[in-house]
Structure 1
Protein backbone atom coordinates (compact mmCIF):
# COMPACT_ATOMS: atom_id res chain seq x y z
CA UNK A 1 0.00 0.00 0.00
CA UNK A 2 1.18 3.60 -0.57
CA UNK A 3 2.75 5.40 2.40
CA UNK A 4 0.12 8.07 3.12
CA UNK A 5 2.43 9.79 5.61
CA UNK A 6 4.56 10.98 2.68
CA UNK A 7 1.59 12.15 0.61
CA UNK A 8 2.76 14.81 -1.89
CA UNK A 9 -0.15 17.09 -2.87
CA UNK A 10 1.49 18.12 -6.15
CA UNK A 11 1.92 14.46 -7.06
CA UNK A 12 -1.64 13.46 -6.14
CA UNK A 13 -3.60 16.54 -7.35
CA UNK A 14 -3.61 15.65 -11.08
CA UNK A 15 -5.19 12.29 -10.25
CA UNK A 16 -7.72 13.96 -7.94
CA UNK A 17 -8.80 16.14 -10.90
CA UNK A 18 -8.88 13.14 -13.27
CA UNK A 19 -10.95 11.16 -10.76
CA UNK A 20 -13.36 14.06 -10.25
CA UNK A 21 -13.92 14.68 -13.97
CA UNK A 22 -14.17 10.97 -14.81
CA UNK A 23 -16.74 10.32 -12.07
CA UNK A 24 -18.97 13.27 -13.06
CA UNK A 25 -19.08 11.86 -16.60
CA UNK A 26 -19.59 8.31 -15.35
CA UNK A 27 -22.38 9.19 -12.93
CA UNK A 28 -24.26 11.21 -15.54
CA UNK A 29 -23.77 8.89 -18.53
CA UNK A 30 -23.20 5.45 -17.00
CA UNK A 31 -19.69 5.03 -18.40
CA UNK A 32 -16.11 6.34 -18.71
CA UNK A 33 -14.62 6.33 -15.18
CA UNK A 34 -12.77 3.06 -15.76
CA UNK A 35 -11.65 3.99 -19.26
CA UNK A 36 -10.37 7.47 -18.34
CA UNK A 37 -8.74 6.43 -15.05
CA UNK A 38 -7.22 3.23 -16.40
CA UNK A 39 -5.70 5.13 -19.35
CA UNK A 40 -4.15 7.66 -16.94
CA UNK A 41 -2.55 4.90 -14.85
CA UNK A 42 -1.19 3.11 -17.92
CA UNK A 43 0.33 6.38 -19.13
CA UNK A 44 2.47 6.65 -15.99
CA UNK A 45 3.70 3.09 -16.41
CA UNK A 46 1.46 1.08 -14.05
CA UNK A 47 1.18 -2.55 -15.33
CA UNK A 48 -2.26 -3.41 -16.85
CA UNK A 49 -3.35 -5.83 -14.10
CA UNK A 50 -2.25 -3.44 -11.33
CA UNK A 51 -3.94 -0.49 -13.10
CA UNK A 52 -7.22 -2.39 -13.42
CA UNK A 53 -7.01 -3.52 -9.79
CA UNK A 54 -6.34 0.06 -8.61
CA UNK A 55 -9.19 1.53 -10.67
CA UNK A 56 -11.66 -1.10 -9.46
CA UNK A 57 -10.67 -0.49 -5.85
CA UNK A 58 -11.38 3.21 -6.33
CA UNK A 59 -14.68 2.37 -8.06
CA UNK A 60 -15.75 0.28 -5.08
CA UNK A 61 -15.98 3.58 -3.17
CA UNK A 62 -17.16 5.91 -5.96
CA UNK A 63 -19.90 3.52 -7.13
CA UNK A 64 -21.15 3.17 -3.54
CA UNK A 65 -21.65 6.94 -3.29
CA UNK A 66 -22.94 7.16 -6.87
CA UNK A 67 -25.37 4.25 -6.33
CA UNK A 68 -26.80 5.82 -3.17
CA UNK A 69 -27.24 9.10 -5.07
CA UNK A 70 -29.03 7.38 -7.97
CA UNK A 71 -31.37 5.58 -5.53
CA UNK A 72 -32.10 8.89 -3.77
CA UNK A 73 -32.96 10.51 -7.12
CA UNK A 74 -35.13 7.49 -8.10
CA UNK A 75 -33.01 6.70 -11.14
CA UNK A 76 -32.97 2.91 -10.49
CA UNK A 77 -35.16 0.28 -12.19
CA UNK A 78 -34.82 -2.50 -9.59
CA UNK A 79 -35.90 -5.34 -11.90
CA UNK A 80 -33.25 -4.31 -14.42
CA UNK A 81 -30.72 -3.85 -11.60
CA UNK A 82 -30.96 -7.48 -10.44
CA UNK A 83 -30.97 -8.82 -14.01
CA UNK A 84 -27.59 -7.20 -14.78
CA UNK A 85 -25.95 -7.29 -11.33
CA UNK A 86 -25.87 -11.06 -10.72
CA UNK A 87 -24.38 -12.14 -14.10
CA UNK A 88 -22.13 -9.06 -13.98
CA UNK A 89 -20.52 -10.23 -10.74
CA UNK A 90 -19.95 -13.71 -12.23
CA UNK A 91 -18.35 -12.22 -15.35
CA UNK A 92 -16.23 -9.88 -13.23
CA UNK A 93 -14.68 -12.73 -11.23
CA UNK A 94 -13.85 -14.60 -14.44
CA UNK A 95 -12.35 -11.50 -16.06
CA UNK A 96 -10.21 -10.59 -13.05
CA UNK A 97 -8.83 -14.14 -12.91
CA UNK A 98 -8.06 -14.12 -16.66
CA UNK A 99 -6.25 -10.74 -16.55
CA UNK A 100 -4.23 -11.81 -13.53
CA UNK A 101 -3.00 -14.97 -15.25
CA UNK A 102 -2.99 -14.50 -19.07
CA UNK A 103 -2.86 -11.71 -21.66
CA UNK A 104 -6.40 -10.73 -22.68
CA UNK A 105 -5.31 -7.85 -24.96
CA UNK A 106 -5.79 -9.75 -28.23
CA UNK A 107 -9.56 -9.23 -28.34
CA UNK A 108 -9.45 -5.59 -27.21
CA UNK A 109 -9.27 -3.91 -30.67
CA UNK A 110 -12.31 -5.88 -31.85
CA UNK A 111 -14.31 -4.93 -28.75
CA UNK A 112 -13.40 -1.25 -29.13
CA UNK A 113 -14.33 -1.24 -32.83
CA UNK A 114 -17.71 -2.73 -31.88
CA UNK A 115 -18.24 0.00 -29.26
CA UNK A 116 -17.43 2.72 -31.81
CA UNK A 117 -20.17 1.30 -34.04
CA UNK A 118 -22.61 1.17 -31.10
CA UNK A 119 -21.75 4.80 -30.29
CA UNK A 120 -22.54 5.84 -33.86
CA UNK A 121 -25.88 4.05 -33.70
CA UNK A 122 -26.72 5.76 -30.39
CA UNK A 123 -25.95 9.15 -31.93
CA UNK A 124 -28.30 8.34 -34.81
CA UNK A 125 -31.02 7.23 -32.38
CA UNK A 126 -30.45 10.31 -30.24
CA UNK A 127 -30.96 12.62 -33.20
CA UNK A 128 -34.26 10.83 -33.93
CA UNK A 129 -35.31 10.84 -30.25
CA UNK A 130 -37.81 10.05 -28.80
CA UNK A 131 -37.74 6.46 -30.08
CA UNK A 132 -40.20 3.83 -28.83
CA UNK A 133 -39.50 3.05 -25.17
CA UNK A 134 -39.53 -0.68 -24.52
CA UNK A 135 -38.32 -3.24 -22.01
CA UNK A 136 -34.91 -4.60 -23.09
CA UNK A 137 -34.93 -8.35 -23.85
CA UNK A 138 -31.20 -9.21 -23.91
CA UNK A 139 -30.04 -8.33 -20.39
CA UNK A 140 -28.33 -11.16 -18.48
CA UNK A 141 -25.79 -11.93 -21.25
CA UNK A 142 -24.89 -8.22 -21.34
CA UNK A 143 -24.21 -8.30 -17.60
CA UNK A 144 -21.99 -11.36 -17.94
CA UNK A 145 -20.00 -9.99 -20.89
CA UNK A 146 -19.83 -6.47 -19.43
CA UNK A 147 -18.51 -7.76 -16.09
CA UNK A 148 -15.89 -9.93 -17.79
CA UNK A 149 -14.66 -7.16 -20.10
CA UNK A 150 -14.66 -4.61 -17.27
CA UNK A 151 -12.25 -6.71 -15.22
CA UNK A 152 -10.15 -8.05 -18.10
CA UNK A 153 -9.91 -4.70 -19.92
CA UNK A 154 -9.77 -2.26 -17.00
CA UNK A 155 -13.10 -0.74 -18.05
CA UNK A 156 -16.10 -1.73 -20.11
CA UNK A 157 -19.08 -2.29 -17.81
CA UNK A 158 -20.71 1.05 -18.66
CA UNK A 159 -19.86 1.16 -22.38
CA UNK A 160 -21.03 -2.41 -23.00
CA UNK A 161 -24.07 -2.61 -20.71
CA UNK A 162 -25.42 0.96 -20.80
CA UNK A 163 -25.02 1.40 -24.56
CA UNK A 164 -26.58 -1.95 -25.48
CA UNK A 165 -29.55 -1.45 -23.15
CA UNK A 166 -30.16 1.97 -24.72
CA UNK A 167 -29.96 0.42 -28.20
CA UNK A 168 -32.76 -1.95 -27.14
CA UNK A 169 -34.98 1.01 -26.22
CA UNK A 170 -34.53 1.28 -22.44
CA UNK A 171 -35.06 4.63 -20.72
CA UNK A 172 -31.75 6.58 -20.55
CA UNK A 173 -32.24 7.87 -16.98
CA UNK A 174 -33.17 4.56 -15.30
CA UNK A 175 -30.68 2.61 -17.42
CA UNK A 176 -27.80 4.84 -16.31
CA UNK A 177 -28.97 4.74 -12.68
CA UNK A 178 -29.43 0.96 -12.64
CA UNK A 179 -26.11 0.22 -14.36
CA UNK A 180 -24.19 2.57 -12.04
CA UNK A 181 -25.80 1.10 -8.91
CA UNK A 182 -25.13 -2.50 -10.01
CA UNK A 183 -21.52 -1.53 -10.70
CA UNK A 184 -20.84 -1.21 -6.96
CA UNK A 185 -21.33 -4.96 -6.44
CA UNK A 186 -19.27 -5.69 -9.56
CA UNK A 187 -16.30 -3.55 -8.52
CA UNK A 188 -16.20 -4.91 -4.97
CA UNK A 189 -16.12 -8.47 -6.33
CA UNK A 190 -13.43 -7.64 -8.91
CA UNK A 191 -11.29 -5.83 -6.31
CA UNK A 192 -11.41 -8.79 -3.92
CA UNK A 193 -10.50 -11.16 -6.78
CA UNK A 194 -7.52 -8.98 -7.77
CA UNK A 195 -6.38 -8.85 -4.14
CA UNK A 196 -6.27 -12.64 -3.98
CA UNK A 197 -4.20 -12.71 -7.19
CA UNK A 198 -1.95 -9.63 -6.86
CA UNK A 199 -1.87 -8.68 -3.18
CA UNK A 200 -1.42 -4.98 -2.27
CA UNK A 201 0.97 -4.21 -5.15
CA UNK A 202 -1.79 -2.48 -7.11
CA UNK A 203 -2.16 0.48 -4.74
CA UNK A 204 -0.25 3.64 -5.62
CA UNK A 205 -0.42 7.39 -4.98
CA UNK A 206 -2.35 7.66 -8.24
CA UNK A 207 -4.98 5.32 -6.82
CA UNK A 208 -5.33 7.57 -3.75
CA UNK A 209 -5.80 10.64 -5.96
CA UNK A 210 -8.43 8.96 -8.12
CA UNK A 211 -10.26 7.85 -4.97
CA UNK A 212 -10.40 11.35 -3.48
CA UNK A 213 -11.57 12.99 -6.72
CA UNK A 214 -14.05 10.24 -7.56
CA UNK A 215 -15.77 10.22 -4.17
CA UNK A 216 -16.07 14.03 -4.17
CA UNK A 217 -17.70 13.98 -7.63
CA UNK A 218 -19.99 10.94 -7.21
CA UNK A 219 -23.16 12.78 -6.03
CA UNK A 220 -23.10 15.22 -8.98
CA UNK A 221 -23.43 12.59 -11.73
CA UNK A 222 -26.73 11.22 -10.41
CA UNK A 223 -28.08 14.75 -10.15
CA UNK A 224 -27.20 15.42 -13.80
CA UNK A 225 -28.69 12.11 -15.00
CA UNK A 226 -32.00 13.09 -13.41
CA UNK A 227 -32.09 16.63 -14.75
CA UNK A 228 -30.58 16.39 -18.25
CA UNK A 229 -33.20 15.64 -20.98
CA UNK A 230 -33.29 12.06 -22.30
CA UNK A 231 -32.36 13.09 -25.86
CA UNK A 232 -29.30 14.97 -24.61
CA UNK A 233 -28.26 11.98 -22.47
CA UNK A 234 -28.52 9.68 -25.49
CA UNK A 235 -26.39 11.98 -27.65
CA UNK A 236 -23.80 12.45 -24.90
CA UNK A 237 -23.55 8.69 -24.28
CA UNK A 238 -22.98 8.10 -28.01
CA UNK A 239 -20.35 10.84 -28.22
CA UNK A 240 -18.39 9.74 -25.13
CA UNK A 241 -18.52 6.11 -26.27
CA UNK A 242 -17.14 6.96 -29.72
CA UNK A 243 -14.37 9.26 -28.43
CA UNK A 244 -13.13 6.93 -25.66
CA UNK A 245 -13.37 3.80 -27.83
CA UNK A 246 -11.55 5.41 -30.80
CA UNK A 247 -8.80 6.58 -28.44
CA UNK A 248 -8.54 3.13 -26.90
CA UNK A 249 -8.49 1.53 -30.36
CA UNK A 250 -5.68 3.83 -31.49
CA UNK A 251 -3.66 2.95 -28.37
CA UNK A 252 -4.31 -0.78 -28.80
CA UNK A 253 -3.16 -0.72 -32.45
CA UNK A 254 -0.14 1.54 -31.87
CA UNK A 255 0.88 0.35 -28.42
Structure 2
Protein backbone atom coordinates (compact mmCIF):
# COMPACT_ATOMS: atom_id res chain seq x y z
CA UNK A 1 0.00 0.00 0.00
CA UNK A 2 2.91 2.35 0.75
CA UNK A 3 4.38 1.65 -2.69
CA UNK A 4 1.01 2.45 -4.30
CA UNK A 5 0.90 5.73 -2.38
CA UNK A 6 4.39 6.70 -3.57
CA UNK A 7 3.50 5.76 -7.15
CA UNK A 8 0.31 7.84 -7.03
CA UNK A 9 2.22 10.76 -5.50
CA UNK A 10 4.68 10.61 -8.40
CA UNK A 11 1.77 10.50 -10.87
CA UNK A 12 0.19 13.51 -9.14
CA UNK A 13 3.44 15.47 -9.18
CA UNK A 14 4.12 14.86 -12.89
CA UNK A 15 0.49 15.41 -13.85
CA UNK A 16 0.34 18.76 -12.05
CA UNK A 17 3.62 19.95 -13.56
CA UNK A 18 2.16 19.27 -17.01
CA UNK A 19 -1.19 20.82 -16.08
CA UNK A 20 0.45 23.96 -14.75
CA UNK A 21 2.49 24.42 -17.92
CA UNK A 22 -0.26 23.60 -20.44
CA UNK A 23 -3.52 24.35 -18.64
CA UNK A 24 -4.58 20.72 -19.13
CA UNK A 25 -3.99 17.02 -18.48
CA UNK A 26 -3.97 16.50 -14.68
CA UNK A 27 -7.25 14.59 -14.83
CA UNK A 28 -6.37 12.77 -18.04
CA UNK A 29 -2.97 11.59 -16.79
CA UNK A 30 -4.27 10.68 -13.32
CA UNK A 31 -7.34 8.86 -14.62
CA UNK A 32 -5.31 6.96 -17.22
CA UNK A 33 -2.90 5.83 -14.49
CA UNK A 34 -5.71 4.84 -12.10
CA UNK A 35 -7.49 2.84 -14.80
CA UNK A 36 -4.19 1.09 -15.56
CA UNK A 37 -4.00 0.19 -11.85
CA UNK A 38 -7.43 -1.44 -12.07
CA UNK A 39 -9.84 1.14 -10.61
CA UNK A 40 -13.36 1.28 -12.09
CA UNK A 41 -14.01 4.35 -14.29
CA UNK A 42 -16.28 6.12 -11.80
CA UNK A 43 -13.82 5.68 -8.91
CA UNK A 44 -10.87 6.72 -11.10
CA UNK A 45 -12.66 9.90 -12.17
CA UNK A 46 -13.80 10.59 -8.61
CA UNK A 47 -10.25 10.24 -7.26
CA UNK A 48 -8.75 12.45 -9.96
CA UNK A 49 -11.34 15.19 -9.46
CA UNK A 50 -11.17 15.13 -5.67
CA UNK A 51 -7.39 15.46 -5.84
CA UNK A 52 -7.80 18.37 -8.23
CA UNK A 53 -9.65 20.31 -5.54
CA UNK A 54 -6.32 20.83 -3.81
CA UNK A 55 -4.12 21.17 -6.88
CA UNK A 56 -6.40 23.56 -8.78
CA UNK A 57 -6.81 25.77 -5.71
CA UNK A 58 -3.05 26.23 -5.39
CA UNK A 59 -2.53 26.47 -9.14
CA UNK A 60 -5.38 28.97 -9.52
CA UNK A 61 -3.91 31.24 -6.87
CA UNK A 62 -0.58 31.05 -8.65
CA UNK A 63 -2.17 32.09 -11.95
CA UNK A 64 -4.04 34.95 -10.25
CA UNK A 65 -0.82 36.16 -8.66
CA UNK A 66 0.95 36.16 -12.05
CA UNK A 67 -1.89 38.03 -13.80
CA UNK A 68 -2.88 35.12 -16.05
CA UNK A 69 -6.66 35.25 -15.41
CA UNK A 70 -9.49 37.04 -17.25
CA UNK A 71 -12.25 37.31 -14.61
CA UNK A 72 -15.19 37.54 -17.04
CA UNK A 73 -14.11 34.35 -18.75
CA UNK A 74 -13.44 32.71 -15.38
CA UNK A 75 -16.99 33.31 -14.07
CA UNK A 76 -18.75 32.01 -17.19
CA UNK A 77 -16.59 28.92 -17.47
CA UNK A 78 -16.88 28.12 -13.76
CA UNK A 79 -20.68 28.32 -13.58
CA UNK A 80 -21.38 26.38 -16.77
CA UNK A 81 -18.61 23.85 -16.15
CA UNK A 82 -19.87 23.08 -12.65
CA UNK A 83 -23.35 22.37 -13.98
CA UNK A 84 -22.09 20.11 -16.77
CA UNK A 85 -19.65 18.35 -14.47
CA UNK A 86 -22.32 17.52 -11.89
CA UNK A 87 -24.51 15.98 -14.58
CA UNK A 88 -21.60 13.93 -15.97
CA UNK A 89 -20.60 12.64 -12.53
CA UNK A 90 -24.18 11.56 -11.80
CA UNK A 91 -24.42 9.66 -15.11
CA UNK A 92 -21.05 7.92 -14.66
CA UNK A 93 -21.87 6.90 -11.07
CA UNK A 94 -25.02 5.12 -12.16
CA UNK A 95 -23.77 2.95 -15.03
CA UNK A 96 -21.94 -0.37 -14.91
CA UNK A 97 -18.16 0.10 -14.76
CA UNK A 98 -17.28 -2.68 -17.19
CA UNK A 99 -19.84 -1.40 -19.69
CA UNK A 100 -18.57 2.18 -19.67
CA UNK A 101 -14.85 1.31 -19.54
CA UNK A 102 -14.26 1.02 -23.33
CA UNK A 103 -16.10 4.30 -23.92
CA UNK A 104 -13.98 6.08 -21.31
CA UNK A 105 -10.82 4.63 -22.90
CA UNK A 106 -12.00 5.76 -26.35
CA UNK A 107 -12.66 9.25 -24.97
CA UNK A 108 -9.16 9.38 -23.48
CA UNK A 109 -7.74 8.31 -26.85
CA UNK A 110 -9.62 11.17 -28.54
CA UNK A 111 -8.30 13.61 -25.92
CA UNK A 112 -4.75 12.40 -26.54
CA UNK A 113 -5.26 13.03 -30.24
CA UNK A 114 -6.74 16.46 -29.51
CA UNK A 115 -3.64 17.43 -27.56
CA UNK A 116 -1.44 16.36 -30.48
CA UNK A 117 -3.69 18.25 -32.90
CA UNK A 118 -3.38 21.40 -30.83
CA UNK A 119 0.39 21.36 -31.39
CA UNK A 120 -0.22 21.79 -35.12
CA UNK A 121 -2.55 24.77 -34.63
CA UNK A 122 -1.14 28.22 -34.02
CA UNK A 123 -2.90 30.78 -31.84
CA UNK A 124 -3.15 34.34 -33.15
CA UNK A 125 -2.88 35.88 -29.68
CA UNK A 126 -5.94 38.14 -29.65
CA UNK A 127 -7.60 39.30 -26.45
CA UNK A 128 -9.76 36.76 -24.63
CA UNK A 129 -13.53 37.11 -25.18
CA UNK A 130 -16.12 35.42 -22.95
CA UNK A 131 -18.52 34.94 -25.89
CA UNK A 132 -19.50 31.29 -26.19
CA UNK A 133 -17.80 30.38 -22.91
CA UNK A 134 -20.98 29.15 -21.19
CA UNK A 135 -21.98 26.40 -23.68
CA UNK A 136 -18.33 25.41 -24.06
CA UNK A 137 -18.01 25.12 -20.27
CA UNK A 138 -21.22 23.07 -20.00
CA UNK A 139 -20.07 20.49 -22.55
CA UNK A 140 -16.50 20.52 -21.26
CA UNK A 141 -17.62 19.92 -17.67
CA UNK A 142 -19.88 17.01 -18.65
CA UNK A 143 -17.22 15.23 -20.70
CA UNK A 144 -14.57 15.97 -18.07
CA UNK A 145 -16.59 14.10 -15.42
CA UNK A 146 -17.46 11.20 -17.73
CA UNK A 147 -13.88 10.67 -18.89
CA UNK A 148 -12.06 11.57 -15.68
CA UNK A 149 -10.43 14.52 -17.42
CA UNK A 150 -10.58 16.64 -20.53
CA UNK A 151 -11.65 20.04 -19.22
CA UNK A 152 -8.29 21.54 -20.21
CA UNK A 153 -7.84 19.87 -23.61
CA UNK A 154 -11.37 20.65 -24.74
CA UNK A 155 -11.86 24.17 -23.33
CA UNK A 156 -8.28 25.43 -23.61
CA UNK A 157 -7.83 24.03 -27.11
CA UNK A 158 -11.11 25.52 -28.34
CA UNK A 159 -10.36 29.00 -26.99
CA UNK A 160 -6.75 29.05 -28.16
CA UNK A 161 -7.70 27.52 -31.51
CA UNK A 162 -10.17 30.37 -32.04
CA UNK A 163 -7.34 32.86 -31.65
CA UNK A 164 -7.29 33.91 -28.00
CA UNK A 165 -4.10 34.74 -26.10
CA UNK A 166 -2.70 31.48 -24.66
CA UNK A 167 -1.53 32.90 -21.33
CA UNK A 168 -4.94 34.35 -20.38
CA UNK A 169 -6.77 31.27 -21.64
CA UNK A 170 -4.57 28.83 -19.72
CA UNK A 171 -4.79 30.87 -16.51
CA UNK A 172 -8.57 31.35 -16.73
CA UNK A 173 -9.34 27.74 -17.67
CA UNK A 174 -7.01 26.38 -14.98
CA UNK A 175 -8.53 28.60 -12.28
CA UNK A 176 -12.14 27.89 -13.27
CA UNK A 177 -11.35 24.19 -13.02
CA UNK A 178 -11.37 24.50 -9.23
CA UNK A 179 -15.11 25.20 -9.28
CA UNK A 180 -15.78 22.47 -11.83
CA UNK A 181 -13.89 19.86 -9.81
CA UNK A 182 -15.68 20.97 -6.64
CA UNK A 183 -19.08 20.29 -8.20
CA UNK A 184 -17.93 17.00 -9.74
CA UNK A 185 -16.30 15.77 -6.52
CA UNK A 186 -19.37 16.59 -4.42
CA UNK A 187 -21.59 14.66 -6.83
CA UNK A 188 -19.27 11.65 -6.87
CA UNK A 189 -19.02 11.64 -3.07
CA UNK A 190 -22.80 11.70 -2.77
CA UNK A 191 -23.12 8.79 -5.22
CA UNK A 192 -20.07 6.63 -4.34
CA UNK A 193 -19.05 7.51 -0.78
CA UNK A 194 -15.36 7.64 0.15
CA UNK A 195 -14.02 4.39 -1.33
CA UNK A 196 -11.57 6.29 -3.56
CA UNK A 197 -9.97 8.45 -0.84
CA UNK A 198 -6.70 6.47 -0.57
CA UNK A 199 -5.97 7.19 -4.23
CA UNK A 200 -6.88 10.84 -3.64
CA UNK A 201 -4.32 11.19 -0.84
CA UNK A 202 -1.48 10.01 -3.05
CA UNK A 203 -2.41 12.24 -5.96
CA UNK A 204 -2.78 15.28 -3.68
CA UNK A 205 0.58 14.67 -1.98
CA UNK A 206 2.41 14.87 -5.31
CA UNK A 207 0.16 17.39 -7.01
CA UNK A 208 0.29 20.03 -4.28
CA UNK A 209 4.09 19.98 -4.35
CA UNK A 210 4.06 20.82 -8.06
CA UNK A 211 1.07 23.20 -8.14
CA UNK A 212 2.83 26.40 -6.95
CA UNK A 213 5.03 26.21 -10.05
CA UNK A 214 2.03 26.62 -12.38
CA UNK A 215 2.10 30.39 -12.83
CA UNK A 216 5.85 30.34 -13.43
CA UNK A 217 5.87 27.39 -15.83
CA UNK A 218 3.15 28.77 -18.10
CA UNK A 219 5.37 31.79 -18.82
CA UNK A 220 8.69 29.92 -19.12
CA UNK A 221 8.21 26.44 -20.59
CA UNK A 222 7.91 25.85 -24.34
CA UNK A 223 4.63 23.91 -24.50
CA UNK A 224 4.93 22.07 -27.85
CA UNK A 225 7.42 19.30 -26.92
CA UNK A 226 5.62 18.69 -23.63
CA UNK A 227 2.25 18.50 -25.38
CA UNK A 228 3.55 15.93 -27.86
CA UNK A 229 4.85 13.74 -25.03
CA UNK A 230 1.60 14.02 -23.04
CA UNK A 231 -0.56 13.32 -26.09
CA UNK A 232 1.42 10.19 -26.91
CA UNK A 233 1.41 8.90 -23.30
CA UNK A 234 -2.34 9.39 -22.87
CA UNK A 235 -3.04 7.78 -26.25
CA UNK A 236 -0.89 4.73 -25.44
CA UNK A 237 -2.55 4.26 -22.03
CA UNK A 238 -5.98 4.61 -23.66
CA UNK A 239 -5.10 2.00 -26.29
CA UNK A 240 -3.98 -0.33 -23.51
CA UNK A 241 -7.30 0.19 -21.73
CA UNK A 242 -9.26 -0.41 -24.95
CA UNK A 243 -7.40 -3.67 -25.55
CA UNK A 244 -8.06 -4.79 -21.96
CA UNK A 245 -11.73 -3.76 -22.11
CA UNK A 246 -12.47 -5.58 -25.35
CA UNK A 247 -10.71 -8.73 -24.16
CA UNK A 248 -13.51 -8.99 -21.58
CA UNK A 249 -16.19 -9.40 -24.25
Smaller-chain TM-score range? 0.7 to 0.9
Q: Deviations over 1:118-166 (max 9, x none)?
A: 445422234xxx6352545432222111100111111111111111111
Match of 2:216 among 219, 223, 244: 223
CA distance in 2: counterparts of 1:175 and 1:237, whole angstroms: 18
- Residues 41 and 101 of structure 2 are in contact (CA less than 8 Å); yes or no, is this contact kept in structure 1? no
Cα deviation for residue 81 of structure 1 reads: 0.9
Q: CA RMSD in A?
A: 2.3
Q: Deviations over 1:43-91 (max 9, x none)?
A: 2222211111111111011100110111001110111111211110000
Cα deviation for residue 18 of structure 1 reads: 1.2
- Structure 1 residue runs of 5 or longer lacking an equivalent are 1-7
Change in Cα spacing, 1:239 to 1:11, as seen in structure 2 (3 Å) is closer
CA distance in 2: counterparts of 1:53 and 1:116, whole angstroms: 20
CA distance in 2: counterparts of 1:40 and 1:220, whole angstroms: 22
**Mapping of residues 102-251 of structure 1, within 5 Å:** 102=95, 104-105=100-101, 107-108=103-104, 111-112=107-108, 114-115=110-111, 118-126=114-122, 131=124, 133=126, 135=128, 137-204=131-198, 206-228=199-221, 232-233=222-223, 235-236=224-225, 238-239=227-228, 242-251=231-240
Matched residue pairs, number?
240
CA distance in 1: counterparts of 2:47 and 2:191, whole angstroms: 13
CA distance in 2: counterparts of 1:49 and 1:236, whole angstroms: 31
- Structure 2 residue runs of 5 or longer lacking an equivalent are 245-249
Query: After the TM superposition, which segments of 4 or more aligned residues of structure 1 sit over 6 Å from their partners?
Result: none
Change in Cα spacing, 1:14 to 1:107, as seen in structure 2 (3 Å) is closer
CA distance in 2: counterparts of 1:110 and 1:44, whole angstroms: 17
- Residues 54 and 207 of structure 1 are in contact (CA less than 8 Å); yes or no, is this contact kept in structure 2? yes
2:176 alignment partner, SS class: helix
Q: Which deviates the most, 96-105 or 186-195?
A: 96-105
- Residues 32 and 244 of structure 1 are in contact (CA less than 8 Å); yes or no, is this contact kept in structure 2? no
CA distance in 1: counterparts of 2:24 and 2:216, whole angstroms: 15
Match of 2:67 among 71, 74, 79: 74
Normalising to structure 1: TM-score of the pair?
A: 0.84
Change in Cα spacing, 1:125 to 1:84, as seen in structure 2 (3 Å) is same
CA distance in 1: counterparts of 2:17 and 2:172, whole angstroms: 16
Change in Cα spacing, 1:243 to 1:49, as seen in structure 2 (3 Å) is same
Match of 1:254 among 232, 235, 243: 243
Cα deviation for residue 253 of structure 1 reads: 3.3
Change in Cα spacing, 1:119 to 1:34, as seen in structure 2 (3 Å) is closer
- Residues 29 and 234 of structure 2 are in contact (CA less than 8 Å); yes or no, is this contact kept in structure 1? no
Normalising to structure 2: TM-score of the pair?
A: 0.86
